[in-house]
Amino acid sequence: MNKLHRIEKDFLGEKEIELNKYYGIQTLRAKENFNITKTDISLFPNFIKSLAKVKKACALTNYELGDLTDIQKDAIVQACNEIIDGKFHDQFIVDPIQGGAGTSTNMNANEVIANRALEILGHAKSSYNIIHPNNHINMSQSTNDVYPTAIKLTLHELIYKLKESLRFLRDCFEEKSVEFKDVLKMGRTQLQDAVPMTLGQEFKTFAVMIDDDIFRLRNAQSHLREVNLGATAIGTGINSKAAYQRKVISNLREVTGVDYVAAGDLIEATQDTGSFVHISGMLKSIAIKISKICNDLRLLSSGPRAGFNEINLPPLQPGSSIMPGKVNPVMPEVVNQVAFEVIGADMTIAMASEHGQLQLNVFEPLIAFKLFNSINMMRRAFYSLGEKCVKGITANEEVCMNNILNSVTLVTCLNPIIGYEKSSAIAKEALKTNKRVYDIILEQKLFTKEELDELLRPENMVTNLSKDAK
Q: Residue 408 CB: number of other CB atoms within 10 A?
A: 18
CA atoms within 13 A on the CB side of 209: 19
The answer to whether residues 5 and 25 touch, using CB atoms and an 8 Å cutoff, is no
Q: Look up residue 455 and give its DSSP letter.
A: H
Check if the beta carbon of residue 210 is closer than 8 Å to that of residue 166. Answer: yes
At 424, is the secondary structure helix, strand, or coil?
Answer: helix
Give the C-alpha separation, 208 to 199, whole Å: 14
The torsion defined by the Cα of 216, 218, 223 and 225, in degrees rounded to 10, comes to: 180
Q: Say whether the peptide bond before residue 304 is cis (omega within 30 degrees of 0).
A: yes
Burial class (CB in 10 A: 0-12, 13-18, 19+), 242: exposed
**140 is a catalytic site residue:** no
Report the alpha-carbon distance of residue 106 to residue 462 in Å, rounded.
Answer: 60
Pick the catalytic residue from 104, 126, 222, 320: 320
What residues contact 180, with CB distance under 8 A and at least 6 apart?
198, 199, 200, 202, 203, 395
Q: Are strands 261-262 and 226-227 parallel, antiparallel or unpaired?
A: parallel
The greatest distance separating any two alpha carbons of the chain, rounded to the nearest whole angstrom, comes to 104
> Among all residues, which ones are annotated catalytic?
320
